[in-house]
Each structure stands twice: as structure tokens, then as C-alpha cells.
Amino acid sequence: MLSTIGLTVPIMLVISCLTRREVFLGLAGANSLLLAVTLAVSVVTFACARTNILQGAVHVMLFAAFLMLIFQA
């Protein structure tokens, strides 16, 4: 799954730039914000030589927020 998200989205954005077509990710406002925060947290996590429990807890909390957004009424 990681390779699908990690490779497909950037490749589609490159292709859209080359063909001058607009790409729609199909995300609502809250999900777009959650995606941006997750990417920022991932950059901080992977920039460090070693991860710690706090960084893991932040990722788990982001996943919990994602689950809450999925099941909201």
C-alpha cells in the first residue's frame, strides 16, 4: 500500500504537469488538512536518524483522527 500512495500520486502529478491537465485528489477539506499534516510529520520522522515513542504516538493519533473522519455521520 505504501508504494501505491508513495509512487502513484507523485507520478500522476508529474504526468498532469507534462500534459497540462488538472488533477483532482477527491479529498474534502478536513482530509486535505490531515494529508498535509501527515506528510509534514512523516518528513520530520524520516529526517531523524532514529525514531522514538513520541513520533510513533503522533502517527497513531493521526491514524485515529483519520478513522474518526471516516466514520463521522
pLDDT for position 3: 61
Alpha-carbon separation of residue 9 from 31, 54, 64 (angstroms): 15, 28, 23
Cα separation, 59 vs 53, in Å, equals 10
User: What averages of pLDDT result for each successive group of 10 residues across the chain (73 residues)?
Assistant: 68 90 80 87 89 91 90 73
Cα separation, 44 vs 10, in Å, equals 19
Quick check: helix, strand or coil at residue 33?
Answer: helix
| 23, containing H or E segment | none
pLDDT for position 4: 66
pLDDT for position 5: 64
